[in-house]
Amino acid sequence: MKFLVAGHEAGKQALQLASAGQEDGEVVRVFALGENVRCLIRVPAPLTTLTTVAFAKKGSGVKVTQQDDLKQYSNVIVRGILHTRAITQGAPRVEEVNKTTSPFKMVDAGRADVAVSSGMDGLAALRTLNMDSIEALEPVLNTQPLYHDVHVSKKDIVPVIDAVLKPLEDSGELADLRNQMAEQYLATLG
């Protein structure tokens, strides 16, 4: 079986390949994908979660505890990342950039107040840049589960994957594995 992993292909391209059956499916996609793309079937048990986090310069006094707080700041997001676009909707000052490291460089340089990113992408960007002047603000602004989506031609594998993931999720072992993998990944960047 061959699944596309988000980030390894452009999101639209990955969706096209999986939808056409050229790949067996995709991993780490939001719930709505399974609702809107009829040729993909969602595995019921979530694989991981996506957190949307605000990042700001340490000591800046920026305080973001909910989505509406973003309206009072200049925000920067990566173009094409839907969860960050959704959470900054209605904020009057939002700039979109192309690279995942650019929002953090802009905040560090004082060209924006807040970088909005997924928690993992943000931490990875900061580690890649070797930047300790920016911090993740708490609380997380949004959390949503991410799922495997399988092409209909491989629908028989859905209950098998679910039967493996569900007990791992229920026992907490999947969360432990996610945390371990995240730590290992971040360690490779710095």
Mean pLDDT confidence for 27-38: 73
- pLDDT tens per residue across span 85-107: 999 999 999 999 999 999 999 99
Question: pLDDT at residue 15 above 90?
Answer: no
Q: Are residues 149 and 93 in the same domain?
A: no
Question: pLDDT at residue 63 above 50?
Answer: yes
- pLDDT tens per residue across span 133-164: 999 999 999 999 999 888 899 999 999 999 99
Strand 48-57 with 114-118, pairing: antiparallel
Split at pLDDT 50, 70, 90, the class of 82 is confident
User: 31 or 1, which is more confident?
Assistant: 31
User: 178 or 110, which is more confident?
Assistant: 110
Q: Are residues 110 and 152 in the same domain?
A: no
pLDDT at 76: 98
Number of H helices, E strands in the chain: 7, 9
User: 36 or 134, which is more confident?
Assistant: 134
Per DSSP, the three-state class of 46 is: coil
CATH label of the domain that carries residue 24: 3.40.190.10
* Burial degree of 122 (CB within 10 A; 0-12, 13-18, 19+): buried
Q: Are residues 37 and 59 in the same domain?
A: no
User: 174 or 25, which is more confident?
Assistant: 174
Q: Which domain holds residue 166?
A: 3-48+144-189
- Secondary structure (DSSP) of 59-89: TS----SSGGGGGGS-EEEETT-HHHHHHHT
Q: Are residues 111 and 71 in the same domain?
A: yes
pLDDT at 159: 96
